[in-house]
Amino acid sequence: MKTFGQVLTEARKRAGLTQKEVAERLRREDGRSVDAPYLNAVEHDRRRPPPDHLIEQLAKIIGISQDILFFHAGRMPSDSRGEIEHEEVEAAWEAFRKAFTGAKSGKKKG
């Protein structure tokens, strides 16, 4: 499985953006932009995936689903957090495995 940094790098390059361009558009909670060396460290997995608000911005900037970035960050999006019953987790993983296995074998989902 790819790392957060690898997924981020691939999506950024597909979007035709440089690290500097993305960093200039990313805003910390205090409004300051992120610097390119920080983004470089994230892309090379020398830093942990960024905070949720930066992941959300990154997704918009580079045109990738937040869900993909959160998955590779090992976290759930903030709108999906809360009390979840064990049965719901099991059902979600079962559906994921079924869809993933079907996609790998070329079968249609559904």
Residues 25 and 70 in one domain: yes
CATH number at residue 37: 1.10.260.40
Query: To which residue do tokens 């997704």 refer?
Result: 59
Assess whether 61 and 103 both reside in one domain. Answer: no
Residues 27 and 69 in one domain: yes
Chain centre distance of CA 61: 12
User: Of 100, 43, 98, 52, which Cα lies nearest the Cα of 76?
Assistant: 52
**Residues 63 and 99 placed together within one structural domain of the fold:** no
Domain count, the chain: 2
For residue range 39-86, list pLDDT tens digits in order: 999 999 999 999 999 999 999 999 999 999 999 999 988 777 677 788
pLDDT in tens, 84-99: 788 887 887 798 888 8
99/71 same-domain check: no
This prediction has a pTM of 0.79
15-48 residues labelled b (16+ CB within 10 A) or e (exposed): eebebeebbbebeeeeeeebeeebbbebbeeeee
Domain containing residue 100: 82-110
Within this chain, do residues 60 and 99 fall inside the same structural domain, yes or no?
no
